[in-house]
Amino acid sequence: MRRIEDESARMGVLVDDLLLLARAEEFCDHITRENGKTLNESLFMEVLPVADAVHWYANHAQKSLRDEKIPLHLFPHKKSYLRFYPRGVIGIISPWNYPFSIPVGDAAAALMAGNAVVVKPSEFTPIVMEKTRALLEEAGLPRGLFGVVQGKGEVGAELIRSGINMVVFTGSVATGKKVNLAAAEQMIPCVLELGGKDPAIVLPDADLDAAAKKIAWGAFSNSGQTCASVERVYVHESVASPFIEKVVALAKQLRQGEPNRHDVDVGAMTTQMQVEIVRRHLEEARQRGAKVLAGGEIQVSPDGARFVQPTVLTGTTPDMAIVRDETFGPMLPIMTFRTEEEAIRFANDSAYGLSAYVFVYRAIHAPDAFVGFVVLGGAMSSFWLNVLWSMSNQFFWERENGNLALYIMAPCPMTAILLGMALGGIVIATLRVQPFIVTLAAMIGIRGLAKWFTHNENIDIGFGQNVFRVARANAVNVAQGDVDALIRRNFYTYDTSHN
């Protein structure tokens, strides 16, 4: 298999005509129709992050994947290099809450590192990936390097068994455990992105107006269906009343309705299954004494439209499901604390550990106090390029942007050889740092698709015949072999003629 650096060098420079941006309205419409998020959210939370990644990868991928010289210490007359090679075929099993940015971000790093990709999108949001495949092929990506297979969980299971070289899964903890076991049986790397119950802490010297606005956005955007949503708030008791008043006022001002209108702030829930989870958490909280200060209504129309009002609650306790479990809906329980130590203890009292948000005027050592990705003075701001996402207490949460996403998709065989030579002596050390290793291994990020979203007949965007020959052949075998056969037998399919 050829070197990554050589292949990246042939991609040329990013041209002005970006197909994705030219088709932004079309893609936003597809995302909104399938997912239920507003058109504004489809643009700013799905399409634009990917377009931004295009530009970044176009200017950094070649440098990131070139050979790295390694000094040999006692042998200065010798030369040693780290050289990155593609894994082969990457299988991506993606969720319904971000049906474009998550799978395309994962595929971006995989493709840029020289791999082929097969995506199994959620059965609730299947169409946008078919549109993405057509766009990539129009931009010049050879047919077969980006494959899409449709179906339910059984198709994902078959994909893992089909001979792929790595699997990337985003979804529930329960399914993630099954994926982890299935990948282990095949002896292939597994990247899991599973769940979150992210806290926000508001300290007494915080700017309450800013904190209320950012927390409301973090809790209610995409109807709360985001892994990094603010799902619980701890506010200092001395400022609790004015803060709660501000959040309640904001929640009541939000406009909810048909998501395909630009004058709507909050759209619809994606699945009835998730609506029932939200309903169960809300009803239990009410029955156990929680007060609903805003929202609290759930409406499901006969034609399937599902609307859950942005809801603010007080009087919740740590043993309630709405505080303890992932709700994944526009619910915001607000609780109080007395000391910073107490706030940190409350925030960390969770099996999850994706993100934490701290609102404070003075500087504090927040990164040392929390497990995961810590944002000071913001909410749900985890999509920056080249920023480590996080890791958690019980469940690994791994997503990263930029260079390390490329490195995981194109490992260095020399590193593996050196580790293998000393395996007996490093087992304990490896186990001790395993959470960090696994987090690095999942940094696949929401960035990418650099050259393939461009359109210029003078640039060889399609990698050429010598570029990823092995990966391409494997992708064609996977995409057109056992998995497609399984879909034809058991599940619905979409027109793949690209007419």
pLDDT at position 364 is 57
- Tokens matching residue 89: 């075929």
CA distances from 267 to 101, 221, 224, 298 (A): 18, 9, 10, 13
Residue 51: pLDDT band with limits 50, 70, 90: confident
For the sheet containing 166-170, what is the strand order? Answer: 146-148, 116-120, 89-93, 166-170, 190-193
DSSP structure string for 204-218 = TTS-HHHHHHHHHHH
Whole-angstrom distance, CA of residue 182 vs CA of residue 334: 39
Least confident interval from 37-46, 384-393, 394-403, 489-498: 489-498
C-beta separation of 91 from 106 below 8 A? no
% of the chain residues with pLDDT over 70 = 69
Looking at the fold, whether 101 and 188 belong to one and the same domain comes out as yes
Do 85 and 212 lie in one domain? The reply is no
| Residues 121, 216 within the same domain | no
Residues 481 and 468 in one domain: yes
Q: Is residue 418 part of a domain?
A: yes
Task: Using the structure block, give the residue that is written with the tokens 């890791």.
Answer: 391
The answer as to whether 385 is a domain residue is no
Taking the C-alpha atoms of residue 82 and residue 71, their distance in angstroms, rounded to an integer, is 11
Q: 327-366: b or e for each residue (b if 16 or more CB lie within 10 Å)?
A: bbbbbbbbbbbeebeebbebbeebebbbbbbbbbeeeeeb
- pLDDT tens digits, one per residue of 130-154: 999 998 888 888 888 999 999 999 9
Tell me: do 313 and 454 sit in the same domain.
no
Q: Check which CATH number belongs to the domain holding 185 and give it.
A: 3.40.605.10
Q: Which among 69, 74, 46, 167 is positioned nearest to 117, based on CA atoms? A: 167
- Domain containing 216 equals 198-376
**Given this model, what pLDDT does residue 400 score?**
53
Give the per-residue pLDDT at 353.
73
Lowest mean pLDDT among 288-297, 374-383, 455-464: 455-464
Q: Cα(100)–Cα(370) distance, rounded to whole angstroms? A: 30
The confidence band for 18, taking pLDDT boundaries of 50, 70 and 90, is low
Percent of the chain surpassing pLDDT 90: 49
Token reading at 116: 């082929």
* Same domain? 360 vs 428: no
- pLDDT (0 to 100) of residue 413: 53
Q: Which pLDDT does position 82 carry in this prediction?
A: 84
Q: Which of 376, 409, 424 finishes a domain?
A: 376
Instruction: Provide the mean pLDDT of the chain.
Output: 76
Q: Which residues contact 399 (CB under 8 A, 6 or more apart)?
A: 193, 382, 389, 442, 443, 444, 445, 446
CA dist 119 and 7 (Å) reads 23
For residue 290, give Cα distances in angstroms to 188, 312, 475.
Answer: 46, 10, 52
111 & 161 share domain: yes
Domain match, 156 and 31 both: yes
Q: Please give the torsion angle defined by the CA atoms of residues 435, 437, 439 and 445, in that order, rounded to the nearest 10 degrees.
A: 180
DSSP string, 141-172: PPTTSEEE---SHHHHHHHHTTT-SEEEEES-
Arithmetic mean of pLDDT, 412-428: 32
Whether residues 204 and 189 fall in one domain: no
446 has pLDDT over 60: no
Active site residues: 193, 227
The confidence score (pLDDT) of residue 368 equals 53
**Domain termination residue (choose one: 376, 405, 427):** 376
In a domain, 461, yes or no: yes
**Taking residues 466-494, what's their average pLDDT?**
34
Tally of structural domains, the chain: 2
Report in angstroms the alpha-carbon separations of 471 from 186, 468, 476.
18, 5, 9
Q: Is residue 465 part of a domain?
A: yes
Compute the average pLDDT of residues 221-243.
96
Structural domain contains residue 386: no
Same domain, 19 and 86: yes
What's 332's domain CATH number? 3.40.309.10
In sequence order, the 6+-apart residues with CB closer than 8 A to the CB of 270 are: 35, 36, 96, 97, 124, 125, 223, 225, 306
**Contacts by 458-463 with C-beta closer than 8 Å and gap 24+?**
459/11, 459/12, 459/13, 459/15, 459/140, 460/10, 460/11, 460/12, 460/140, 461/11, 461/12, 461/139, 461/140, 461/141, 462/140, 462/141, 462/142, 463/7, 463/10, 463/11, 463/141, 463/142, 463/145
Q: How many CA atoms lie within 13 A of 189 on its CB side?
A: 21
Q: Could you report the per-residue pLDDT of 360-398, keeping only the tens digit for each?
A: 876 655 545 555 556 665 666 545 454 555 444 444 445
302-329: pLDDT as tens digits:
888 899 999 999 999 999 999 999 999 9
Residues 152 and 241 in one domain: no
Co-location of 176 and 215 in the same domain: no
Residue 495 is assigned to a structural domain of this protein = no
> Within 13 Å and on the Cβ side, how many CA atoms surround 430?
9
158-163: long-range contacts at Cβ-Cβ below 8 A with a sequence spacing of 24 or more? 158/482, 158/483, 158/486, 159/91, 159/93, 159/118, 159/120, 159/478, 159/483, 160/91, 160/186, 160/188, 161/186, 161/482, 162/91, 162/478, 162/481, 162/482, 162/483, 163/89, 163/474, 163/477, 163/478
Which pair of structure tokens corresponds to residue 380?
A: 């749900």
pLDDT grade for 239, boundaries at 50, 70 and 90: very high
Provide the pLDDT confidence category of residue 69 given band limits of 50, 70 and 90. Answer: confident
In a domain, 240, yes or no: yes
* Out of 225-239, 270-284, 397-411, least confident range: 397-411
State both tokens at 212: 């209320």
Q: Which of 55-64, 324-333, 400-409, 457-466 has the lowest mean pLDDT?
A: 457-466
Say yes or no to pLDDT of 216 above 70: yes
pLDDT digits 0-9 by tens, 336-365: 999 999 999 999 898 887 788 899 876 655
Structural domain contains residue 390: no
Query: Which whole-number Å values give the CA distances from 61 to 14, 46, 138, 253, 477, in the listed order?
Result: 12, 21, 22, 44, 27
Give the pairing of strands 355-359 and 306-308: unpaired
Task: Provide φ and ψ at 356, rounded to 5°.
Answer: -145, 145
pLDDT at 223: 97
